[in-house]
Amino acid sequence: MMRVSITVLLLLAAALAGAAKMDAPAQSASEAMDARLKKLETELRCLVCQNQTLADSNADLAEDLRREVRELAMSGKNDEEIKAYLVARYGDFVLYKPPMKPITWLLWVGPFALLVVGGTVWWIVLRRRSRAAEASAPASSEAQARGRKLLDEAGS
Amino acid sequence: MKNIRWSIPLAIFVILVAFLWVGLGRDPREVPSPLIGKAAPSFRLAKLHGAGETLANSDLRGKVWLLNVWASWCVSCRQEHPLLIELAKSNIVPVYGLDYKDDPTAGRAWLTQNGDPYTASVVDRDGRVGIDYGVYGVPETFVIDKVGVVRYKQIGPITPEALKEKILPLVRELQQ
């Protein structure tokens, strides 16, 4: 029974896909719009559940904002204009990718600055250590010769 | 030399702690509104009471007013409601209500039950005016000055402290 209903569903889906192919131009235009909206919605934050994108959130407000975004897109606004519309109302916080401006410089540059500082400290410590090792234990040529000999024996 | 070795990590640690400490005290749900200092978005909406009458923000030019976003389904609105009633009785500043995404009948019933502090309420059934005002957590309250500029936004219920220390002093300043 289960298998039969799945087969029927698959056939139905195939038929629908075929039907969709018939009016390809109109369909692909709205598909392109859907894809564009989907992408745009993943770049926008829902303000109610703050760690979800507009696309993921089920909050009432997210639904309204999706409607608003769709209408703006339908009226011919481009992505930047739609984002500007939302930023004017909710602030930069609606953008998952904050814009580069003086107040966000630290946010953008901070991690790289920390990496550079950490790398520099690491390099200095390593250099100091190797210098200290060189200074404290100058291996005598006799000991070096013995070491080499031992290694050779182990190798053969 | 030895001093530097210890003082640099210590300084970094202290700075980090300071940042984290400040961060602890802030509410991440309070997103600063970009509307502050800008003209209040315009609206013309039907009044909740009074058939066919409308109210526009431009009708309120020349006076300082509060716009309180509320709804009958909003639980924390109950929390601030007694304060609003008190404020309305004091006649310091008119409070206008925006009944946000609400059924007007339910809204009217809610006001009958809890008391109506509003000079007038308007109905924003589909929440479009709410979006224009950047509303994301009801209740929200805006202080709007004589020329129609948003001066302050309270996100969440008005607390007695916020009313006494921020809203009322600002209203008095703006009324002069």
Q: What is the pLDDT of residue A29?
A: 75
Tokens of B165: 């220390």
Residues 53-72 of A with CB under 8 A from B: 60-61, 64-65, 68
Instruction: Return mean pLDDT, chain B.
Output: 91
pLDDT along chain B (176 residues), means of 10: 78 93 82 88 91 89 94 93 93 94 93 94 92 90 94 93 93 91
How far from the centroid of its chain's Cα atoms is residue A60's Cα? Answer: 26
* Cα B55 to Cα B122: distance, rounded to the nearest angstrom: 7
Query: Chain B closest CA to A56's CA: distance in Å?
Result: 16
Q: B31 vs A68: CB contact, 8 Å cut-off?
A: no
Q: What is the pLDDT of residue B3?
A: 73
pLDDT in tens, B46-97: 999 987 889 999 999 999 999 999 999 999 999 999 999 999 999 999 999 9
Could you give the percent of chain A with pLDDT greater than 70?
A: 80
Instruction: For residue B51, give its domain range.
Output: 33-175
Total domains in chain B come to: 1
Tokens of A27: 């369909």
ipTM of predicted complex: 0.77
Establish if B52 belongs to a structural domain.
yes
* A110 and B CB contact within 8 Å: no
The angle at the Cα of A92, spanning A86 to A96, to the nearest 5 degrees, equals 90
Question: Where does A31-98 sit in CATH, by number?
Answer: 1.10.8.640
Q: What is the pLDDT of residue A15?
A: 57
* B153 and A CB contact within 8 Å: no
CB-defined contacts A:B, below 8 A: 39
Tokens of A150: 């031992």
Q: A90 vs B34: CB contact, 8 Å cut-off?
A: yes
Q: A89 vs B34: CB contact, 8 Å cut-off?
A: yes
Establish if B23 belongs to a structural domain.
no
Establish if B118 belongs to a structural domain.
yes
> Domain with B124 in it: what CATH number?
3.40.30.10
Q: What is the pLDDT of residue B87?
A: 93
pLDDT in tens, A86-132: 999 988 888 888 888 888 888 889 999 999 999 999 999 999 998 88
Establish if B164 belongs to a structural domain.
yes
Burial of A97 (0-12, 13-18, 19+ CB in 10 A): exposed
Establish if B6 belongs to a structural domain.
no
Tokens of A131: 């210098």
Which DSSP state fits B162? I
Query: Chain A closest CA to B160's CA: distance in Å?
Result: 25
To probe the interface with A, which of B19, B43, B136, B150 has the most A CB atoms within 10 Å? B136
Q: B126 vs A64: CB contact, 8 Å cut-off?
A: yes
Q: What is the pLDDT of residue A137?
A: 67
Edge to edge, the sheet with strand B140-144 lists B120-124, B95-100, B65-70, B140-144, B150-155
Helix (H, G, I), strand (E, B) or coil at B44: strand
Contact (Cβ atoms closer than 8 angstroms) between residue B128 and residue B41: no
Residues 78-107 of B with CB under 8 A from A: 101
B153 backbone dihedrals φ, ψ, rounded to 5°: -135, 125
* Cα A41 to Cα B78: distance, rounded to the nearest angstrom: 33
* Cα B92 to Cα A90: distance, rounded to the nearest angstrom: 29
Establish if B21 belongs to a structural domain.
no
Tokens of B147: 């020329």
Establish if B101 belongs to a structural domain.
yes
pLDDT > 80? residue A6: no
**H or E element in which residue A81 lies:** helix A79-90
- Tell me which amino acid residue A37 is: L
Q: What is the pLDDT of residue A122?
A: 94
For B120-152, give the DSSP string: EEEEETTSHHHHHTT--SSSEEEEE-TTSBEEE
Establish if B74 belongs to a structural domain.
yes
